[in-house]
Amino acid sequence: MKKTATLALLLSFLFPSFIQGQISIDEVEIEQVEGNVLRYLVSFTTNEIGTGYLEYGDGMYTEMSTNKTQHEIILIGLAQLSDYQIKIHAFNSTGAAESGPYTINTISIPSDIVEAADSLFNDTTATTGYILTDARGPDLATQVRIFDRAGRLVWYDYTKEIGSPCIGNNFSNRNTSLQIYGDCQTMLEIDFFGDTIQKVNISNIPGNFQIHHDMYINDLGNLVLLVAEGQPVDKSSVGGRADALVVGDGYIEIAPDGEIVSQWSIFDHLDPMMSRDAGAFWDQVFGEPAEDWTHANSIAQDADGHYLMSLNALDQAIKIHRETGEILWTFGKNGDFTIDPPDALFKSQHTFWGIGNNRYTVFDNQGAGSFSRGLEFELDTAEAIARLVFIQDADSLLSTGIVGSTYRLENGNMLSSFGRAGAIQEVDSTGKVIWYRNEGTILNYRSFFVPYLYAPLPDLKLIDTVFCQNDRPAVPKTSLVGGFFEGPGFENGQLDPTLLSPGEYELIYSYAYLSDTFTFAIAAPPESPLIRDSSPYLLTDAQGTYQWFLDGEAISGATSDSLLINANGTYQLEITSAEGCSALSNSIVIGTVDTEEANFNQLKVFPNPNRGAFEVQFGQLEVAQVQLFDLLGRFIYEQAGPVDSRLNIQGIPVGTYGLVVRMKNGSVIRQQVVVGR
């Protein structure tokens, strides 16, 4: 297959008529979306149903608006104070059209959105994707932002968090942002176009649960929320308060339909009597003094489906069985694993994630003392040893006693957010820094790698590559449906094989900004087969794969070159060649089979299957002749009439046979199977 995407795009600019078809673009309107200066709505119409998309920047493309005449596309990924040339494209099976260019001049972002960096570094290898992070500060509106590889802010949105207990956000596997909203009991999933995908409120769940720090979408598409719950505990026996309110952590798993799939609580597994108050974090929500017992700050799913939770106040991470809720192991201070080397022990950690093959990443806030670091361990569960295999930025002066994140990306790089230091850093598998951004006093709770703003199109593929010369005109199957074809044999967007001789040909298939050249073949159909009546069988000498028909309906299982006749009607045979082309035989009308139900009921053949000997009982039937044929129509056995009411047949080789019972007014045919002696 020859790739021609670049050439096809160039030709569309130089010679627009090359791809001009019947579809056309009209009524173009471009307007800024209210509330966000870097988001635009582009609307247009097409005179025919088709697919539209936008081209902007340096060879960048938006999502597709498909099967419509009224099109609306949200344009994102723009930087402030910049000029953009926008082109509108539309296509369907008849061809493509282009409109523009149109100019967009972006204005300044709001003053409370953080855009500038104290320092920025971009290695030549950091060319794909974006970085999503939040920003917090005493004079800032809580916000989420996306930067391109040049460090420019190209997307922003405000979050609705109301205070420190609500702190938390995540980036989902659906390319959406997960945010805590309002009263710490509501979670929003928002896409990059400003649409709310889902809104989940947990206030009606029994117990006083507060969403905090983390949430994610698991392998079943369910939402898993990290929650805190306060429970009264009498701790007077251990020197504590008799009316102590201990705040512990757990999770709630919620299906897309709102059903609670599972709940888990640390109170069911650890003893709150031994709790240590980590601070006043929860006082403003649960009332003073609320003991911050475990202070979980991340919830994730391991490669095997079980759950991982970071218990910051205990300097531990735990693995939870997703069905039973059992704590499978504890990792960290006083945990189940010996840490090798010992100075890799982490403290006040964040974002404990599994990356497969028993490997885990953790952001170590305070374990190194004067600096923070991203760590990766390999856990040997058989020997109970956690071996350090990677350190990110171990010699840095960056330090963040709280918040932060670290993740191993799919390309092998590691992305870390040094929260209080305002720094985001991406390193490759050797530890080399390839992207860096520092915003000074701005606090970044977490940072995530975003692979794309608009999902890229998959490669074009031609699924049907062989067509039969006698096929009706049809649209060839492709991986992306809705584009247009150019090549021999195509009329009105369909391939008409009858216009072509057997052989190989090339076609060009274009979909949006992709265009490929494919090779396809026209195959000659086989000659129509001949079938003959060799009662009780129909036979053919034609070669291929077979399907017999009775009165125009395919006979189930009738796929050999012979057919045992067991009903009256019109028979035909369809053969199919190795190329998948078919031809239909002549017709043979059968009218000699006795189809009276009473006759069928009287005839008994048993056992069936058998081992070479079976008995035939005729009841009141007046039998003139009994014959046995193999599947090739060869005569095996005969008993002339008049036949007694019972007949024993023995010594038949292994195989499948047709038993023919002939009477004065017709015949009855039964299939008989001999399985062995």
Q: Encode pLDDT of 108-144 as tens digits.
A: 999 999 999 999 999 988 989 999 999 987 778 889 9
State the pLDDT at residue 342. Answer: 97
Spatial distance between the Cα atoms of 491 and 178, rounded to a whole number of angstroms: 49
Residue 466 in domain: no
Q: What is the pLDDT at residue 564?
A: 82
Q: Residue 17: pLDDT band by 50, 70, 90 thresholds?
A: very low
Say if 492 falls within a structural domain: no
- What would the pLDDT profile of 231-241 be if each residue is shown by its tens digit? 999 999 999 99
647 or 674, which is more confident: 647
Does 465 score more than 60 pLDDT?
yes
- Measured distance CA(631)–CA(421) in Å, rounded: 84
- Last residue of one domain, picked from the residues 315, 336, 357: 336
Whether 196 and 318 map to the same domain: the answer is: yes
Q: Is residue 505 part of a domain?
A: no
Q: Is residue 347 part of a domain?
A: yes
Q: Once rounded to an integer, what is the mean pLDDT over residues 303-313?
A: 97
Confidence band for 599, pLDDT divided at 50, 70 and 90: low
Could you tell me the pTM of the whole model?
A: 0.79
Helix (H) or strand (E) holding 638: strand 635-640
CATH number at residue 56: 2.60.40.10
Does 329 lie in the same domain as 181? yes
pLDDT digits (tens, 9 = 90+) for 565-582: 878 899 999 999 999 999
CATH number assigned to the domain comprising residue 559: 2.60.40
pLDDT, residue 142, reads 84
pLDDT at 632: 66
Residue 502 lies in a domain: no
What is the arithmetic mean of pLDDT over 288-297?
94
Q: CA-CA distance, 77 to 80, in Å (whole number)?
A: 10
Integer-rounded Cα radius of gyration of the chain: 37
* pLDDT for residue 553: 92
Residue 161 one-letter amino acid: E
User: For 163-222, where are the E strands, in sequence order?
Assistant: 169-171, 177-181, 186-190, 196-201, 209-217
Judge if 187 and 240 occupy the same domain.
yes
Check whether residue 124 and residue 191 sit in a common domain: no
What's the pLDDT at 15? 35
pLDDT band with cut points at 50, 70 and 90 for residue 673: low
pLDDT, residue 611, reads 76
What's the domain range around 184?
165-336
171 and 269 inside one domain: yes
Residue 664: band (very low, low, confident or very high) from pLDDT cuts 50, 70, 90: low
Pair (328, 262) in one structural domain: yes
Is residue 205 domain-shared with residue 244, that is, in the same domain?
A: yes
The last residue of a domain, from among 336, 352, 369? 336
Band (pLDDT 50/70/90 cuts) for residue 441 is: confident
Q: What is the mean pLDDT of residues 467-475?
A: 94
Same domain flag for 125 and 220: no
Residue ending a domain, choose from 456, 477, 503:
456
Q: CA-CA distance, 522 to 116, in Å (whole number)?
A: 61
Percent of the chain clearing pLDDT 70 (strictly above): 93
pLDDT tens readout for residues 509-543: 999 999 999 999 999 999 999 999 987 889 999 99
Mean pLDDT of 661-676: 64
**Pair 297, 326 in one domain:** yes
High-pLDDT (> 90) share of the chain, %: 71
Q: Give the pLDDT of residue 666.
A: 65
Domain identity same for 96 and 222: no
Alpha helix ranges (H) inside 430-570: none
Between the CA atoms of 505, 510, 515 and 516, what dihedral angle is there, to the nearest 10 degrees?
A: -20
| Shared domain check, 141 and 177 | no
In a domain, 485, yes or no: no
Two tokens, residue 37 = 């200066």
Confidence bin at 64 (pLDDT 50/70/90) = very high
- Is 497 within a domain? no
Residue 324 lies in a domain: yes
pLDDT band at 10; cut points 50, 70, 90 = very low
What confidence score (pLDDT) does residue 537 get? 85
Instruction: State how many domains the chain has.
Output: 5
Looking at residue 612, what is its pLDDT?
A: 74
Residues 183 and 309 both lie in one domain: yes
Residues 448-460, mean pLDDT to the nearest whole number: 96
